[in-house]
């Protein structure tokens, strides 16, 4: 199993510290800033073995160099981003894995938000660290890739077990939910979820992790087959990719 600590930083980022208790090995996912990571490591008396980067944006790699200097850890990232992420020791592609103790974290290539985006997935721990590819009730913007690339990346996530815990890198849930309600207002599961999300955010509580099951029920970017959503877009019977592309374009101006 994994111990997972979620650190809110900057305006809406999350850093995840993951600890495999049997081996005592620890990794950090997408460290934007070093101080809270180092404080947590000291408090728990954990030593850092890996930094696991999902993509090259500054708010996911900002602490790479400092953490490596202080802890001597290794940095893992996509082979595509080796020249764009400082200090990379381990270059990864789809199907590769990083071992945290006896627990493999399998790499899933997820281009779209950026061309070199990857995710880390543990079947045994039922945990997905997806960076900015998938959000609770949303998905990443298309900064480098195409809508088709992002759509294909999300299909990989949709195929994971429904109980998979999804650790998204940003607290965007409430705004994403408002958009989801606009395009599928009659979705009862979505209405119920937003009631809970609004309560959580009023209390400054996190809405992450989500689950694949929750996203299948409420995330419009997972729901291209929804008749109500297709009717809203006036795209009944169109392809899933065409509907996804229209949704992503609509969300960009929301």
Neighbours of 5 (CB within 10 A): 18
Of the chain, the percentage scoring pLDDT greater than 90 comes to 99
Phi (first) and psi of residue 24, to 5 degrees: 80, 10
Burial letters for 92-109: b for 16+ Cβ neighbours within 10 Å, e otherwise? beeebebebeebbbbbbb
pTM exceeds 0.95: yes
Phi, psi at residue 105, to the nearest 5°?
-105, 110
Q: What is the pLDDT of residue 227?
A: 95
So what's the pLDDT on residue 109?
Answer: 98
pLDDT number for residue 1: 80
Model pLDDT for residues 19-74, shown as the tens digit of each residue: 999 999 999 999 999 999 999 999 999 999 999 999 999 999 999 999 999 999 99
Instruction: List the beta bridge partners of residue 139.
Output: 134
Q: Give the pLDDT of residue 228.
A: 95
Q: Look at residues 177, 156, 162 and name the one whose alpha carbon lies nearest to residue 110.
A: 156
SS3 209: coil
| Residue-wise pLDDT tens digits, 220-250 | 999 999 999 999 999 999 999 999 999 999 9
pLDDT at 94: 97
How confident is the model over 167-187, as pLDDT tens digits?
999 999 999 999 999 999 999
Residue 167 to residue 6: CA distance in whole angstroms:
9
């Amino acid at each position: 199993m994994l111990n997972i600590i979620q650190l809110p930083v900057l305006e809406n980022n999350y850093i995840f510290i993951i600890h495999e208790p049997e081996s005592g090995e620890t990794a950090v996912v997408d460290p934007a800033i070093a101080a809270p990571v180092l404080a947590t490591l000291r408090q728990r008396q954990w030593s850092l073995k890996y930094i696991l980067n999902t993509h090259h944006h500054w708010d996911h790699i900002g602490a790479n160099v400092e953490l490596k200097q202080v802890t001597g850890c290794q940095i893992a990232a996509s082979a595509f981003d080796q020249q764009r992420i400082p200090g990379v020791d381990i270059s990864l592609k789809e199907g590769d894995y990083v071992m945290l103790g006896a627990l493999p974290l399998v790499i899933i290539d997820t281009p779209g938000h950026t061309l070199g985006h990857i995710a880390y997935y543990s079947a045994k721990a039922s945990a997905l660290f997806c960076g900015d590819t998938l959000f609770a009730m949303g998905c990443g913007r298309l900064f480098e890739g195409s809508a088709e690339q992002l759509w294909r990346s999300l299909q990989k996530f949709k195929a994971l077990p429904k109980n998979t815990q999804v650790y998204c890198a940003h607290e965007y849930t409430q705004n994403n939910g408002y958009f989801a309600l606009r395009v599928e207002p009659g979705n009862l599961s979505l209405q119920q979820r937003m009631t809970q999300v609004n309560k959580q955010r009023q209390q400054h509580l996190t809405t992450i992790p989500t689950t694949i099951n929750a996203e299948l029920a409420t995330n419009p970017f997972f729901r291209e087959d929804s008749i109500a959503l297709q009717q809203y877009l006036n795209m009944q019977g169109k392809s899933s990719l065409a509907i996804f592309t229209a949704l992503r374009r609509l969300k960009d101006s929301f």
